[in-house]
Amino acid sequence: MTAEELFAAAMAEMPLVAVLRGVRPEEIEAVGAALVAAGIRIIEVPLNSPEAYESIARLAGLAGDDVLVGAGTVLDVEAVGRVAAAGGRLVVSPHCDPAVIEATVEAGMVSLPGFFTPTEGFAALNAGAHGLKFFPAEAGSPAVLKAMRAVLPRGVPVLAVGGMTVEGLAPWRAAGADGFGLGASLFSPGMTAEAVGEIALRFVGALRD
Q: Please indicate whether residue 167 is annotated as part of the active site.
A: no
Which residues share a beta bridge with 159?
Answer: 133, 179
Q: Residues 6 or more apart from 62 whose CB is under 8 A from it?
A: 29, 32, 33
Residue 4 among the catalytic residues: no
Percent helix, percent strand, percent coil in the chain, to nearest 5: 45, 15, 35
Tell me how far apart the terminal alpha carbons of the chain are, to the nearest angstrom.
29
Distance (Å, whole) CA 189 – CA 112: 24
Q: How far apart are CA 182 and CA 107, in angstroms?
A: 26
Catalytic residue among 44, 54, 102, 146: 44
- Residue among 13, 133, 194, 198 flagged as catalytic: 133
Q: Where in the sequence numbering do the catalytic residues fall? A: 44, 133
